[in-house]
């Protein structure tokens, strides 16, 4: 009976966990691709700025940036704990996704860009229609790892009071003095979320794999 009660209560935080992930991961994807393009094609100065951004953001623990946004920035622009946590994770994720897509773009043969220019495509058209579609497919395996990381890192928002899976596990465990059961259930839910995500992205990879690669 305890297990069912605990599981039902903790599972109620899954929506918040998925909502944080649904904001942070696409945010990281959009900015990661943009910064990767700047890193590869932006020239020395812009490329250097993108590299600095990547190095700094990957060197900051996510919880530190989360606290900065919530306790300092949020006091100025009035954003909720949920949005502060989601944005912080999105910023950190963008730096990792930038490196994923940078590597994927650079792995596409330069000869294909030359061929695209030879048939009359502009540089932007070559990137859009030839390089980027291939790079996105190549990036799926490492991107699935980043997706798993963001799902797990979403647990950090419990530190600022957001009632996601870990926060609910901590609350019900503290009330019942059964912390082991509560955190075991939380771990099981996180495992299922990550497992389903990885299997889904494996399917996408198989469906979109470039035959010659």
pLDDT of residue 144 exceeding 90: yes
CB contact set of 47 (below 8 Å; sequence gap of 6+): 38, 39, 40
pLDDT of residue 124 exceeding 90: no
By the 8 A CB rule, do 8 and 168 touch?
Answer: no
Instruction: Say if domain 2-208 classifies as CATH 1.10.3720.10.
Output: yes
Q: How confident is the model at residue 213 (pLDDT cuts 50, 70, 90)?
A: low
pLDDT of residue 209 exceeding 90: no
| pLDDT for the residue 123 | 78
38-92 per-position pLDDT tens digit: 999 988 899 999 999 999 999 999 999 999 988 888 777 888 899 999 999 999 9
| Residue extents of the structural domains in the chain | 2-208
Mean pLDDT of the chain: 90
> What is the spatial distance between Cα 180 and Cα 184, in angstroms, rounded to a whole number?
6
Q: Give 131: exposed, middle or buried? Use CB within 10 Å, 0-12, 13-18, 19+.
A: buried
16-40 per-position pLDDT tens digit: 999 999 999 999 999 999 999 999 9
166 Rama class: left (phi>0) / alpha (psi -120 to 50) / beta: alpha
Q: What is the pTM of this model?
A: 0.89
């Amino acid at each position: 009976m305890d297990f069912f009660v605990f599981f039902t209560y903790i599972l109620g935080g899954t929506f918040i966990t998925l909502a944080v992930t649904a904001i942070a991961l696409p945010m990281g994807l959009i900015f990661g691709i943009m910064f990767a393009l700047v890193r590869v094609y932006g020239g020395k100065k812009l490329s250097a700025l993108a590299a600095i951004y990547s190095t700094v953001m990957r060197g900051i623990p996510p919880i530190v940036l989360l606290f900065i946004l919530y306790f300092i920035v949020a006091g100025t622009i009035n954003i909720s704990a949920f949005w502060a946590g989601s944005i912080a994770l999105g910023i950190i994720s963008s730096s990792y996704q930038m490196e994923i897509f940078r590597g994927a773009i650079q792995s596409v043969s330069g000869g294909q860009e030359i061929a695209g220019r030879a048939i009359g495509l502009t540089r932007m058209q070559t990137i859009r229609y030839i390089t980027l579609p291939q790079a996105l497919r190549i990036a799926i395996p490492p991107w699935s790892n980043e997706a798993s990381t963001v799902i797990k890192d979403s647990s950090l928002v419990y530190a600022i009071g957001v009632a996601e899976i870990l926060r609910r596990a901590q609350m019900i465990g503290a009330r019942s003095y059964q912390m082991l059961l509560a955190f075991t259930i939380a771990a099981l839910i996180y495992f299922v979320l990550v497992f389903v995500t990885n299997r889904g992205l494996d399917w996408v990879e198989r469906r979109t794999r470039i035959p010659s690669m």
